[in-house]
Every structure is written in C-alpha cells, then in structure tokens.
C-alpha cells in the first residue's frame, strides 16, 4: 500500500467512525505513546506480545511494532471489518516476519464471555506483555442494556459511565504482571464522581508511571480532552506505588512568552508558558496526588500548589457544602412545553401556574445580569401538608387547557418514564423543592471561564442549567455572603485549577456540585471575615456596570486572598512549608 493510499483510506475510515464515538489516533500521538511504552520495555531481551483492544486504522499497533522491532505476537480487535482489513495491511508493512492477528470482534464482549464467572487467570496464555489503546469514548448504552448491566456487575461501575471504563478494567486483566500499557482516554475520569471506581481500580491494579493531561491542545478533531496513562501491571497487590510524574498542558490566552517550540510534545519539556503554532499554552510538571483517598480526585501537585493548598486548608473555617445542600435546578424533560419567553403571545389568557425562571443567561457576579427577555416556567408542583405533590389541574383551567392541547399532551405522555414512576403525565420530571423558591439562595452557572455566583432574593425558580445553594439554617446569612465573595474571586479560580483542574476548551471550567461543595470559606468571626461581609452587603446594592461596583469587587478580591493568607499573585504569603511527600492513597 502506497503512502497516498494509506492516507486516503485512513481519512475515510475516520469519517465513518465518528458517529460511533471512535476517534482514530493521530500518528504523532500514536508515536508518542509507543515511544514511552518502548522506553520501559527495551530492557526485555525476549520477543514480546503486544495488543490493541480497539485497533481502528492500526496507527497505535504499527507505531509500537515499529518502536520495538522485536515482537512475538501482534494482536488486535475491532468491530469494523474494513478497519480490520486496513489495519492488517498497515501493521504488516512494519512488523517484519510477524503476521499481525487482527480479529473482527467486539473486544469487550470477547472479554465478558471469558470473564464470567471469573476474571483472567494468572498464567492464561492470552496474557500479553504490552497493551497500547485508545478505547472509544461512548456510553455503555451502545452495548445494550443487558451488556451494560453485565459490565456494571463485573466491574462495580455505577452511575453514568463511559465505555472506556470497562476497557480499562479488561486491560488490567489481559496484561501480564509487570506488563506495560499505554492508554489514551478522556481526562474526565480523573475528577468526576462517576470516575471514583475507575480511579480506585487503576491504583489497585497498576503502578501509574507517568500521566500526561493534554487538555485543550486539540490533538483530536473531536472535542475530546485526552490524557495518556503509562501503566505497569502490579506484580502483587501489596506493591508500593512509585511517585507518578504528572504533566499538564492547557491553553493560556493571558500569558505572554517568547519561548516557542515545534509541537505540543516538545512543549511538555518546558514548564511554564510556551508557544506552539502561535498559540500560548501553560505547562505544569509535578506529581499525582489523590489527597490520601483511594478514589480521590487526581490532581497535579508541585511544591507551589502543595504549600498553597495547605495554607488555604489551615485558614478554612468551613466549606460551601457545610452551608447547605447544593442542588441542580429543575429539569422538565420537555422544555419547549414548560419554558417559554413568549407566553403572552400564545393566547388571551396567561396560564395561572407560570413562575419566573432563572437561567444561565442571567449569570453574573454577585448580582444577576437581568436581560430584556425573561423566561417563565409552567410549574406543576406545590407543598401540601409538608409534602411535595403535583397540582390539581382542575383548579387551574387555563394551564389545564394549554397542557391538554393535543400535540402538547401527546408530547408529555410520550415520556413513558414519568408514567412508569407513578407520576402524572403533565408533571415536571425534577421539580426540586417547591417551598425553597421563596427563600434567598446562592445561584451559579454550570460552565464558565470565569466563575459567576449571584444572590437570588427569592421568588424565582432555578432552571437545570444552573445550580443553587440554600442555607439549611436561618443563621447562615454571613456564610452565604462569604461564599459569594469566595465564589467570585480570582482566588477560587486558582483553587479550582490546583484542586480539580477540570477544564473544557477555551479555559472554561465545570462548576459541579462535587467541586463547589469543597470550596473553602474563611472564618466569619475574624476581622477580615467581618470586613468581607460588610463589603458584600454594599456591593449587592450597587449597579453591576458602575465603576463603584468594579472597585468594590477588586477590594473584596484582595480581602479573600488575605483571609486565606495567600498573596494576590497566588503564592502563599505566610505559611509553614510542608514537605512534598506525595502518596496516592492512605
């Protein structure tokens, strides 16, 4: 096969695979993973067996075979017969005398059939020396409900899991003790709640030798933020874990540097800001920490972040989660029916059940950004005898007439899960607490480059594109005001990046419950705490566009830094240095 034919065929295969969530590995990334696997395996004198469980166009196996040049067997699996045929030819061109064994089958199903009732046994002839993989980034639903449940039962996965979670579990059982794996996966598992079991299993099964978070470098055409893991299968369960080198690279539009390199991979050698193809990235180099928890969030720590976080911890009075429960807003599962900005235009009579709605379009710091267009929601729940119940539609004839419009009723009744749950056909799926909407609450948007936390005085319902926090006790007003100050500070941006670093493209952060509930609050009884509260009360009475508002915001920002004893530039101003002794788990 000529180089031109190979490129054309690869492009066609990649286009065909997009809808399946399978994103073929770019050659330069395949070479990077293969080089790092080979750097560990080069001490082996015997020919090795290598495997790719989702071979695709063969880029990974070909790169590893080329790097090693000493293979005993080359094994691959893929569901696409055209990909299998192409990969067979591609790998053959670099594998010498070894004929690759590429099978057209579902690797996961192959493993599941063999795993029950027990997992791969030590000494199994299929155990391999090295695995190189880029598993598909899709939900387990693609296997069907039965297979998804089977996966969950075998590997203990819960919640919303990606298919690559199961691939990682199977890989751990297909690799010889001491064997090496280089795996490309989405970086989401490192910080999301549904990734807890995966993080715990990886630390249990493997020594994590190196970890590269490529962030928003756009190595793939799709919106995938990849991480590369270099893993070694543990010899015994009691193996002591080595310190894991952790590299991170994300775009940084605010940084300036004259240092420029040829590629993202070259940039990994340059700590700090570095330019690639005219775009500035920030590179951090440190070690992996899970804060002493087996399933803890994976974070990159170096001496600066380690001591900075410890300084903050010493000066933390409580956390956002201690004030009250953080909830997502209401979810109707039929927004076009329940949520509109044109209710006045649909007829002479406005439905009685309409309530004003808060959405992410009104996100602002301290104060909501009120626009000309405000949406309203037809809210179908109330509190009766202390319990949340659906309203009686007969008491609201205009709302009832609207909901019983044939096309609307048909749309709502098609939500079979509502009926199966014993609910009325017209109900909002997740109404949250009807009694809470009249109370003051802290509201914040889910995805934002800059945090946006604002105070809702009460009366409006929070939509599902925002989160909200209502104090569980009436005496928590000062803590809510402190939370407003912290949530809108440059301090919390640095805390987020050190503690979670779950960024999307263009530096946007995810403000999810599991992160925000960990945000720290300084002592409300301290001099600085009282001053912050006074300043927040004042800023809530100002015009958000005024110079006075921006000056007050800057003042609050500085007070938050001082309250946690970190300086404006993020470096601890006054701390007792704690030795950097990073361990994965307690």
Residue range 321-352, pLDDT digits in tens:
999 999 999 999 999 999 999 998 877 788 99
> Do 376 and 231 have their domain in common?
no
Please state the domain count of the chain. 2
Q: Which structure tokens are listed for 57?
A: 């166009």
> Do 211 and 352 have their domain in common?
no
Residue at 536 is within a domain = no
Question: How many CA atoms within 13 Å lie on the side-chain side of 66?
Answer: 18
Q: At what angle do helices 59-68 and 27-41 cross, to 10 degrees?
A: 40
Read off the pLDDT of residues 551-579 as tens digits, 9 standing for 90 and up.
999 999 999 999 999 975 545 555 444 44
Residue by residue, DSSP assigns 424-491 as -TT--SB---GGGTTS-EEEEESEESS--EEEE-SS-EEBTTEEEE--SSGGGHHHHHHHHHHHTSHH
Least confident range from 71-85, 117-131, 466-480: namely 117-131
Q: Residue 153's domain spans which residues?
A: 3-238
> Do 22 and 135 have their domain in common?
yes
> Do 234 and 333 have their domain in common?
no
What are the contacts of 498-501 at 24+ separation with CB within 8 A?
498/299, 498/301, 498/305, 498/308, 498/309, 499/297, 499/299, 499/309, 500/191, 500/297, 500/299, 501/191, 501/213, 501/248, 501/299, 501/300
Among the candidates 384, 410, 445, a domain finishes at 445
Q: Of the candidates 213, 370, 180, 328, which has an alpha carbon nearest to the alpha carbon of residue 281?
A: 213
Residue at 395 is within a domain = yes
> Do 364 and 230 have their domain in common?
no
Residue 548 has pLDDT above 50, yes or no: yes
Residue at 60 is within a domain = yes
* Whether 136 contacts 54, CB under 8 Å: yes
Omega into 117 within 30° of 0, i.e. cis? yes
Residue at 343 is within a domain = yes
Q: Which structure tokens are listed for 63?
A: 């790169």
Read off the pLDDT of residues 224-260 as tens digits, 9 standing for 90 and up.
789 999 999 998 766 667 889 999 999 887 788 889 9
> Do 233 and 355 have their domain in common?
no
Residue at 463 is within a domain = no
Rounded mean pLDDT of 393-402? 95
> Do 361 and 223 have their domain in common?
no
- What are the C-alpha distances in Å from 276 to residues 266, 405, 485, 532? 9, 57, 36, 41
Say how many Å lie between the first and final Cα of the chain, rounded: 53
User: How buried is residue 436: exposed, middle or buried, by Cβ count under 10 Å (0-12/13-18/19+)?
Assistant: middle
Residue 581 has pLDDT above 50, yes or no: no
Residue at 257 is within a domain = no
Read off the pLDDT of residues 280-319 as tens digits, 9 standing for 90 and up.
999 999 999 988 888 888 999 988 888 999 999 999 999 9
Rounded mean pLDDT of 365-390? 88
> Do 28 and 168 have their domain in common?
yes
> Do 232 and 331 have their domain in common?
no
Helix ranges (H only) for 276-404 are: 303-314, 320-323, 335-338, 397-403
Least confident range from 17-21, 400-404, 423-427: namely 17-21
> Do 210 and 333 have their domain in common?
no
Task: In whole angstroms, give the CA distance from residue 182 to residue 164.
Answer: 14
Residue 524 has pLDDT above 90, yes or no: yes
Among the candidates 379, 410, 445, a domain finishes at 445
Residue at 389 is within a domain = yes
pLDDT > 90 fraction of the chain, expressed in percent and rounded:
57
Residue at 537 is within a domain = no
pLDDT for res 22 = 52
**Residue 203 sits in a domain of what CATH number?**
3.40.50.150
pLDDT for res 344 = 85
Among the candidates 223, 238, 253, a domain finishes at 238
């Amino acid at each position: 096969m000529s180089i031109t034919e190979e490129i054309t065929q690869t492009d066609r295969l990649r286009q065909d695979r997009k809808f399946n969530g399978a994103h073929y590995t770019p050659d330069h990334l395949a070479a990077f993973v293969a080089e790092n696997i080979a750097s560990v395996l080069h001490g082996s004198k015997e020919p090795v067996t290598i495997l790719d469980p989702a071979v695709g166009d063969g880029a990974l196996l070909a790169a590893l075979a080329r790097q090693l040049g000493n293979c005993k067997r080359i094994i691959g699996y893929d569901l696409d017969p055209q990909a299998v045929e192409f990969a067979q030819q591609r790998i053959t061109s670099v594998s010498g005398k070894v004929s690759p064994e590429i099978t057209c089958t579902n690797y996961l199903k192959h493993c599941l059939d063999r795993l029950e009732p027990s997992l791969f046994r030590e000494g199994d002839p299929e155990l391999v020396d090295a695995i190189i993989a880029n598993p598909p980034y899709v939900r387990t639903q693609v296997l069907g409900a039965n297979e998804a449940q089977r996966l969950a039962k075998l590997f203990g996965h819960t919640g919303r899991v990606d298919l690559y979670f199961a691939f990682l579990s199977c890989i751990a059982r297909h690799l010889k003790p001491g064997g090496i794996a280089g795996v490309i996966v989405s970086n989401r598992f490192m910080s999301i709640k549904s990734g807890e079991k995966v993080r715990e299993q990886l630390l249990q099964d493997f020594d994590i030798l190196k970890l590269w978070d490529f962030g928003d470098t756009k190595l793939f055409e799709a919106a995938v933020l990849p991480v590369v893991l270099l893993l070694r299968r543990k010899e015994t369960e009691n193996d002591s874990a080595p310190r894991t080198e952790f590299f991170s690279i994300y775009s940084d539009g605010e940084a300036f540097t004259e240092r420029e390199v040829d590629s993202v991979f070259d940039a990994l050698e340059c700590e700090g800001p570095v330019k690639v193809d005219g775009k500035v990235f920030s590179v951090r180099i440190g070690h992996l920490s899970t804060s002493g928890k087996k399933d803890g969030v994976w974070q990159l720590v170096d001496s600066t972040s380690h001591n900075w976080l410890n300084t903050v911890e010493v000066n933390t009075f409580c956390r956002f989660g201690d004030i009250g429960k953080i909830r997502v807003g209401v979810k109707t599962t039929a927004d076009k029916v329940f949520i509109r900005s044109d209710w006045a235009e649909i007829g002479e009579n406005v439905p009685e059940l309409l309530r004003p709605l808060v959405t992410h379009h009104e996100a602002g710091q301290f104060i909501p950004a009120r626009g000309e267009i405000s949406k309203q929601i037809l809210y179908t729940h109330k509190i009766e005898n202390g319990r949340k119940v659906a309203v009686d539609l007969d008491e609201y004839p205009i709302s009832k007439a609207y909901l019983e419009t044939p096309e609307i009723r048909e749309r709502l009744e098609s939500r079979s899960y509502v009926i199966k749950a014993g609910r009325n056909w017209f109900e909002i799926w997740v109404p949250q607490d009807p009694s809470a909407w009249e109370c003051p609450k802290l509201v914040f948007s889910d995805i934002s480059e800059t945090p946006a936390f604002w105070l809702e005085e009460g009366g409006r319902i929070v939509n599902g594109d925002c989160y909200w926090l209502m104090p569980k006790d009436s005496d928590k007003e000062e803590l809510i005001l402190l939370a407003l100050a912290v949530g809108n500070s440059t301090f919390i941006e640095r805390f987020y990046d050190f503690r979670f670093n779950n960024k999307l493209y263009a530096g946007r952060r995810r403000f999810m419950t599991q992160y925000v509930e960990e945000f720290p609050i300084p002592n409300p009884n301290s001099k600085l705490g009282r001053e912050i509260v006074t300043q927040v009360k004042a800023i809530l009475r100002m015009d958000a566009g005024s110079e006075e508002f921006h000056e007050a915001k800057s003042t609050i920002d500085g007070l938050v830094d001082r309250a946690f004893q970190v300086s404006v530039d993020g470096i601890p101003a006054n701390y007792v240095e704690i030795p950097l002794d990073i361990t994965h788990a307690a």
